[in-house]
Amino acid sequence: MIWSEVETYSREKIEQIQLERLKETVKRVYEKVLPYRKKMDDAGVKPEDIKSLKDLSKLPFVTKQDLRDNYPFGLFAVPKEELVRIHASSGTTGKPTVVGYTQGDLDTWTECVSRIACMGGATKNDVSQICFGYGMFTGALGLHYGLENIGSTIVPSSTGNSEKQIMYMKDFETTLLVATPSYALRLAEIARSIGVDPTKDLKVKIALVGSELLTEAMREEIHKCWGEDVLVTSNYGMSELMGPGVSGECEYLDGMHINEDFFIPEIINSETGEVLPAGEQGELVITCIKKEGLPLIRYRTKDITRLIYEPCKCGRTFVRMENLSGRSDDMLKIRGVNVFPSQIEEVILSFNELGPHYEIVVEREGYLDKLTVKVELNVETDSFKELENIANSVKSKLRIVLGLDAKVTLVSPNTLQRFEGKAKRVKDLRSK
């Protein structure tokens, strides 16, 4: 089901809405947000200069650093009294980034997530269990409001107490699961350990996964654990922009439709900042055109993707962004080679002899970077030859995919760390 008629508007009509909203937003931030006005003045651009969508590229970028520099409310376009909600993303370094919502923003957010939930197959008949951590993180509440808005029954089970999660799933007959891809796998693992087979004993038919990138191999792995008939879609967002609901996959699983009446996407060369032609891969930059509290303009997401303008079989006309191939700041440079952890994940998941959990360690030995991939053994064997064969095949496949030699370490099942939120599987021990 398509939630809103807007999702099927002609390109012309979408662009007309975008331009109108862009002009209004730029004018508003110029008037109300001092750091923006300064940035625009420095770049020599005035709100009147925005006459077409192409003029967007004249505007300066905003980065996470700008949010930190103006902590907590410096980039907000409304007085604090007008905010009805504050969220924050945990900063791994220094201050967190703070985001605020007016009532209008919450309504927009709910609308965006409602659309994405429908794309992923949700209906009012679903029982939706939200296994994202509730709290300052936007993921859980974002999905919560959207799924409630379409009329599904919410089970706000959050993360943790995983055995109880399985009990709820069974007793409430949960049909829709919201989780990170890695927590979805973890929950299936726990279900099995207490004698519940997710493919037979549970009724989950829809998985809306987000907050981590979903590789095709990971999607397959989720199918293996939860059943082939489960519709697994990924959705995308970040708290700076709103939270989940920026884009989501429809049932054709070929990229995530961006809610273009609220967000304008651009793809840039992340080194030069130059806007790339349609269809090329680069860093995603998003401009919020209907936000009241924190309307970020040309926000650099650091996510690497590609935009697909070709029409989608589902009937929606909104542009699609390819499922992420990585984040520019997740990218590891090992012996001069660019490596995305997702590439390593794809290799690991292609081996039935290995479990889906892994750990990547990068160290420096003398002057050389050393890459170690730790994987859990998923076979029972009494043969050194077989163990060696497994390690060697993983090694040679990694060499083909990455162009690098890695050390492969086999460990016992259930020994690597499990994650309930965003998985942190990379340990870069090189001093920067």
Residues near Zn ion (CB under 5 A)? 250, 312, 314, 316
What φ, ψ does residue 365 adopt, rounded to 5°? Answer: -115, 110
Determine how β-strand 206-210 pairs with β-strand 176-179: parallel
Indicate which single residue of 86, 167, 275, 379 sits in contact with another protein (rule: CB under 8 A). 379
Q: Which does 312 bind (CB under 5 to 8 A by kind): another protein, Zn ion, none?
A: Zn ion
The residues that bridge with 238 in the sheet, in sequence order, are 243
Which amino acid, residue 282? G
Quote the least distance from Cβ 152 to Zn ion, whole Å: 21
d(CA 20, CA 203): 45
379 contact, one of Zn ion, another protein, none, CB 5-8 Å limit per kind? another protein
Q: Applying CB under 8 A, which of residues 16, 90, 103, 414 lies at the interface with another protein?
A: 414
Residues 6+ apart with CB under 8 A from 299: 61, 62, 63, 240, 241, 285, 286, 287, 288
Nearest 5 degrees, angle CA 432-CA 94-CA 305? 70
Q: Which of 1, 79, 380, 431 binds another protein (CB under 8 A)?
A: 380
Using rule CB under 8 A, residue 404 touches another protein = no
Q: Is 361 an interacting residue with respect to another protein (CB under 8 A)?
A: no
Residue 314 binds which one of another protein, Zn ion, none, with CB within 5 to 8 A depending on kind?
Zn ion
Burial class of residue 349, CB neighbours in 10 A (0-12, 13-18, 19+): buried
Tell the residue number behind the tokens 């967000």, with chain if given: 263
Nearer to Zn ion, 304 or 314 (CB): 314
- Identity of the residue, 60 or 413, whose beta carbon is nearer to another protein in the bound complex: 413
- Tell me if 346 sits within 8 A of 282, measured CB to CB: no
* Cα-based angle 213, 114, 160 (whole degrees, multiple of 5): 55
* Beta carbon nearer to another protein, 12 or 380: 380
Question: Cβ of residue 414: shortest distance to another protein, in angstroms?
Answer: 4
Residue 401 makes contact with another protein by CB under 8 A: no
What is the C-alpha end-to-end distance of the chain, expressed in Å? 49
Tell me which DSSP letter residue 62 carries.
Answer: B
Inter-residue contact 37 to 30 (CB < 8 Å)? yes
Q: Which does 411 bind (CB under 5 to 8 A by kind): another protein, Zn ion, none?
A: another protein
Contact flag: residue 382 with another protein (CB under 8 A): yes
Instruction: Decide which of another protein, Zn ion, none touches 250; Cβ closer than 5 to 8 Å per partner kind.
Output: Zn ion
12 binds, options Zn ion, another protein, none, Cβ within 5 to 8 A by partner type: none
Question: Interface with another protein includes 384 (CB under 8 A)?
Answer: yes
Binding another protein (rule: CB under 8 A), the pick from 17, 331, 404, 411 is: 411
Q: Does position 329 bind another protein by CB under 8 A?
A: no
How many residues at the interface with another protein, by CB under 8 A? 16
Binding piece for another protein, criterion CB under 8 A, among 65-73, 114-122, 232-240, 381-389? 381-389
**90 binding another protein? (CB under 8 A):** no
Integer Cα distance of 355 and 33 in angstroms: 50
* Chosen from Zn ion, another protein, none, partner binding at 329 (C-beta under 5 to 8 Å by type): none
Q: Helix, strand, or coil here: 161?
A: coil
75-83, 160-168, 327-335, 378-386 -> range binding another protein (CB under 8 A): 378-386
Paired sense of beta strands 326-327 and 153-155, if any:
unpaired
The piece of 26-34, 119-127, 274-282, 411-419 that touches another protein (CB under 8 A) is 411-419
Phi, psi of 374 (to 5 degrees): -100, 130
CA distances from 256 to 250, 291, 307 (A): 7, 21, 9
Beta bridge partner(s), residue 373: 360, 408
- 384 contact, one of another protein, Zn ion, none, CB 5-8 Å limit per kind: another protein
Collapsing DSSP states into helix, strand and coil, what is residue 36?
helix
Residues at the contact surface with another protein, assessed by CB under 8 A? 377-384, 387, 409-415
